[in-house]
Structure 1
Amino acid sequence: MRYSKEHKLETHARIVKKASVRLREKGAHGIGVADLMKDAGLTHGGFYAHFDSREALVVEAFGYAMDRSMERWRQLSVQAAPDQRLPTFVEFYLSSQHRDNPGHGCALPALSAEIARESPKTRKAFAAKLDQMIGLIAEQFPGAAGKPNRKQAMAALATMMGALVLARVAGSGELSEELLSAGRDAVLERPAALKPVAKKPAVKKAGLKVVTAKA
């Protein structure tokens, strides 16, 4: 039976969508092509009608997952007041719901370690999406746009991703919640923490001169 072009495109999209969830749940090497096709309601034999290789599916599924994450982040940004965009995003990312639902969450904490061991082609595709994510997060920081915001966005994303990975490792108990909370505090309090602390003058006892500490 010959299927229409539209049917093939719909089937292709269904495979990618299912694969993006399973890969985030099981990892890039935790599930085979046969299982991915079965999840999509198809036979193993039909795989090469849609993809040249397993790597091609992995790259496309990674891209889909990261695009969906950025779409959710944009929705949060639009719904929040300008001065609440960053806190809203951080609270969303470092939440128990995100921790407990890796299959529908950010692909970075779920797959980054494995992507680092993939082919240059796969890493390049992943890096391009990562760069877009950094740019989107930079837009959530108040103040002038540019390199300072981008640098802050990189630090924030690295902090949040690390906190989420550790929280997942710790399970769902008190330690896990502490890790999520620590990650939120680290990102949201970072600008204040980076401000130089003003040195107070050193005062000697009565009858002696007041000595001011040099800057």
Structure 2
Amino acid sequence: MRYSREHKLETHARIVRKASVRLRQKGAHGVGVADLMKEAGLTHGGFYAHFNSRDDLVIEAFTHAMDRSTERWRKLAGQTSREKRFAMIVDSYLTSLHRDDPGRGCAIPTLGAEIARESSRTRRVFAGRLDQMIDMLADQIPGLPRKAARKRAMATMATMIGTLVMARVAGSGEFSDEILGAGREALLGRAKSPRPGKSASRRAVASTRH
């Protein structure tokens, strides 16, 4: 049966979305092509109708995840006053919800170490998306020259990512929550976020789910 171009594009996008979640849950080498295709409701044999290699799918999957993170941050910033945007992004990232749902969270804590051992092409694409995320975060830091804002954004991302990795290693109890609080305090000067209103809380939750 021949399918329309639109159908093929929709199927391709569904594979990438499903793979994006599974790779963040299991790691870049923790899921085989057959598993990824099954997750998307397709047979293993249909894989090469959409991708030239497994690496191509991995690249598209984590690119999708990183693009979603950047877009979520941009959306969150657009709903928040300029002076509160930076803090809102940090608060929404360093949450127990994000810690406990790696499959729908930021790709860097889950895949970063593995990507560092991948091909130069894979690392180059990943680095490009990372640079875009840093730029977007730098945009939310008022009162600093661009170069200084980027340096602070880099340090912020390094702290957020490291904090989230440590919190996940520690599990989901009091010690893990303490690590999340320490990360927030290092970046914002306070260990706990002020209690947000309902709308702010919903935005913070949504910003971690990709």
> Structures share a fold, TM > 0.5?
yes
Q: Aligned residue for 2:58?
A: 58
| Partners of 1:138 and 1:145 within 8 A in 2 | no
| Partners of 1:135 and 1:150 within 8 A in 2 | yes
Q: Aligned residue for 1:207?
A: none
Work out which of the two has the higher radius of gyration on C-alpha atoms and give 1 or 2.
Answer: 1
1:10 correspondence with 2:6: no
| Partners of 1:102 and 1:110 within 8 A in 2 | yes
1:173-212 residue pairs with structure 2 within 5 A?
A: 173-189=173-189
**Which secondary structure does the structure 2 equivalent of 1:21 belong to?**
helix
| Partners of 1:139 and 1:145 within 8 A in 2 | no
| Partners of 1:33 and 1:54 within 8 A in 2 | yes
Distance 2:77 2:128 in 1: 22
1:101-116 residue pairs with structure 2 within 5 A?
A: 101-116=101-116
Q: Aligned residue for 1:22?
A: 22
Contiguous gaps of at least 5 residues in structure 2: 191-210
Q: TM-score, normalised by structure 2?
A: 0.89
**Which secondary structure does the structure 1 equivalent of 2:35 belong to?**
helix
Q: Aligned residue for 1:170?
A: 170
Distance 2:5 2:79 in 1: 37
Q: Which has the higher contact order (CA 8 A, sep 6+)?
A: 2
- Runs of 4+ residues over 4 Å off in structure 1: none
Q: TM-score, normalised by structure 1?
A: 0.87
Q: Which has more helix, going by share of residues? A: 2
**Which secondary structure does the structure 2 equivalent of 1:80 belong to?**
coil
The root-mean-square deviation of aligned C-alpha atoms, in Å, is 1.0
Question: Which letter maps to 1:37?
Answer: M
Identity of aligned residues (%): 67
| Partners of 1:70 and 1:136 within 8 A in 2 | yes
Q: Aligned residue for 2:118?
A: 118
Q: CA deviation at 1:144?
A: 3.4
Contiguous gaps of at least 5 residues in structure 1: 191-215
Q: CA deviation at 1:75?
A: 1.1
Q: Aligned residue for 1:128?
A: 128
Q: Tell me the matched-pair count.
A: 190
Q: CA deviation at 1:135?
A: 0.3
